[in-house]
Homo-oligomer: A and B are copies of this chain.
Amino acid sequence: MLGNGATSVGVHPIRENTSFVLAKVCKAHRAYVGGLLAGHGLHVGQEMVLVELWQDDGLRGGELAARLRVEPPTVTKMLRRLEGCGLVERRQVPTDARSFRVHLTEKGRALEEQVVRCWAQTEETALAGLSAGERQTFRELLIRVRSNLDPEFEAE
């Protein structure tokens, strides 16, 4: 039973989809990153909030949801936990009582180097054995796939 990329006899043809392989990579990647972040008291996804704030402190809840491509309740819950951990704090928007801005605490800022190292380590592990050219190609293909799957997202 051969398709693009021969598969073993008895293997379900759905595995011939490259996006199926991508899903498996995603699972492995998330578990890997999660393990590293756990060492710093963070859960997968939470570091994405911090990255946005390290870049632009003082974002509003809805802005975070939009940047992270998640639904507002997801941000609500993550912020509650991050606030509970002392990494961020909310400040009411004076001109709009419905709204607030999220600011990093000292503790939140202090995590930046460690999280950056987590991702650098993930980079090295995930891309081990890939040449500079292959890494470049992989990145470009990922960006195109991302754009295909989420056209609304502003390309990096």
Q: Hey, which chain B residues are within 8 Å of A18, CB to CB?
A: 123, 126-127, 135, 138-139, 142
Interface of A is mostly: helix
A136 vs B141: C-alpha distance when bound (angstroms): 11
CB of A95 within 8 Å of the partner chain = no
Interface residues of A in 28-72 (CB under 8 A from B): 28-33, 48, 51, 54-56, 69
- The reply to whether B145 and A19 form a contact with Cβ atoms under 8 Å apart is no
A135 vs B29: C-alpha distance when bound (angstroms): 20
- The reply to whether B127 and A145 form a contact with Cβ atoms under 8 Å apart is yes
Chain B residue nearest to A45 in the complex (CB):
B27
Chain B residue nearest to A21 in the complex (CB):
B142
Contact of A144 among B115, B129, B139 (CB under 8 A): B129
Given A27-B69, A29-B19, A126-B149 contact (CB < 8 Å): yes
Q: Which of A6-14, A77-85, A102-110 contacts B (4 or more CB under 8 A)?
A: A6-14
Q: Hey, which chain B residues are within 8 Å of A134, CB to CB?
A: 141
CB of A92 within 8 Å of the partner chain = no
Q: Mark A128-156, 1 if CB is under 8 A from B, else 0.
A: 11101011111101111110111001001
Q: Name the 4 nearest CB pairs between A and B, nearest first.
A: A26-B26, A28-B150, A28-B149, A12-B55
- A–B pairs, 7, beta carbons within 8 Å: A14-B116, A21-B142, A24-B146, A25-B142, A25-B149, A29-B145, A32-B149
